[in-house]
Structure 1
């Protein structure tokens, strides 16, 4: 049994509906020490998005090998630089080596739903949007804890003010960027501050955008790693010093 299918480790496999593969978009997945789950995450993602680039950010485990075994293109950083740096490497790969119309940023730990990502790409196509940003708060109920919810709401208010965009969720890792927007992203913030930097840069583009309701699954696996807590701390540091 895959560890991704084991309830004690992380979320069960998603029941994905039959759909035509999304071939005009690449998933860009930053990866750091997610060997127990990344193979199944990539396998499930590739059932909808056959084109996936994973940027292994200096993992100390077998993460890169697991992602490669699932069929992803894998780029390896020799040392850990941070999620922002990994995303920028993935963006550069898409712009220089592919003809992708859209880039979709997607987490390696199973928290994002691939059907949400596909719906966001579809919205970008149908509504001629350059940017679609996932929001865990537009759908109403959320599994986000009170403290984290307050931090994320504060981050959204700050992001709205600094970017000129009206946001409900400025730190959601699920995003769709059309190629013209992608070419104008230049991440110099390697770590968590990259999320605020992306929003600020999008705000200067004068390109059509919108938020899109998505589901974030906080699994026992991610909670066991302390990810939710540390991400909240990092967001606070970002707000104070970026």
Structure 2
């Protein structure tokens, strides 16, 4: 029995998924113990991700072809904001890196503070905990902040953290145009341009051998840096 008695019926988790069949069912079943409303967007996976999402009991939306994480998040936001009673929204990774306890803390904070969006940060803990972030990843993420005037102006230390919690105002105004990983830079642009009230929340990221192989490559780091340079040129 889940010890958490808080009612999260007004909260929707949005989980973009591409070829995560090995872990997605466990990730969703764990999150569903606390958050009853989850939509997972199967972004043209070549494996059995769609089946595993269905077996977990989450809402399933299928992209017939792979469009990219930004497109999957946008599809999930549109689905979730159309549901009766939806007031709070969470972007949550499918690979098991994000922790449900952090989502709980972020949603409860969003309910009580005058903010529109809370972004997770890997750099709000003591240095010993920050060092759990792989060295190359840590260097890349801090370089992104140094290169992005918008990120610094908003006071963000980890703009490419995929764990975000936001209210209905943000959900209604979120219409991402960048389909791939560059959506993270676009979200920062929207925060700045639309004047959303922004805060950060220290979170724990679980780096496993599986998640490292999926998303921690040097190539991915180069893409993040390229996205930050593109974002820097945006008006």
TM-score (norm 1): 0.88
SS at match of 1:69: helix
Aligned equivalent of 1:63, options 49, 68, 77? 49
Are the counterparts in 2 of residues 88 and 186 from structure 1 also a CA contact under 8 Å? Answer: yes
Are the counterparts in 2 of residues 57 and 77 from structure 1 also a CA contact under 8 Å? Answer: yes
Matches within 5 A, 1:112-131: 112-131=98-117
Instruction: Please identify, of 30-39 and 126-135, the stretch whose mean Cα deviation from structure 2 is larger.
Output: 126-135
Are the counterparts in 1 of residues 146 and 152 from structure 2 also a CA contact under 8 Å? Answer: no
Are the counterparts in 1 of residues 145 and 152 from structure 2 also a CA contact under 8 Å? Answer: no
Please state how far the C-alpha of 1:163 moved relative to its aligned partner. 7.4
Distance 1:138 1:178 in 2: 22
Instruction: Please identify, of 148-157 and 84-93, the stretch whose mean Cα deviation from structure 2 is larger.
Output: 148-157
Distance 2:213 2:154 in 1: 34
Aligned equivalent of 1:228, options 207, 216, 221? 216
Are the counterparts in 2 of residues 159 and 200 from structure 1 also a CA contact under 8 Å? Answer: no
Structure 1 residues 187, 163: CA separation in 2 closer, same or farther (over 3 Å shift)? farther
Distance 2:114 2:11 in 1: 15
Distance 1:204 1:224 in 2: 35
List structure 1 segments (4+ residues) > 6 angstroms apart after TM superposition: none
| Counterpart check, 1:156 vs 2:142 | no
Residue equivalent to 1:167: 156
| Counterpart check, 1:191 vs 2:177 | no
Matches within 5 A, 1:36-115: 36-115=22-101
Are the counterparts in 2 of residues 133 and 212 from structure 1 also a CA contact under 8 Å? Answer: yes
Structure 1 residues 96, 166: CA separation in 2 closer, same or farther (over 3 Å shift)? same
Please state how far the C-alpha of 1:164 moved relative to its aligned partner. 3.1
TM-score (norm 2): 0.90
Q: CA RMSD in A?
A: 1.7
1:2-26 per-position Cα deviation (integer Å, ceiling 9, x unaligned): xxxxxxxxxxxxxx75343411110
Greater share of residues in helix: 2
Aligned equivalent of 2:208, options 219, 222, 229? 219
Aligned equivalent of 1:26, options 12, 15, 28? 12
Unaligned runs of 5+ in 1: 1-15
1:20-79 per-position Cα deviation (integer Å, ceiling 9, x unaligned): 341111000000000010001000001111100001100001101101111110100000
1:198-231 per-position Cα deviation (integer Å, ceiling 9, x unaligned): 0110112223221001011111111233x21143
Distance 1:166 1:174 in 2: 17
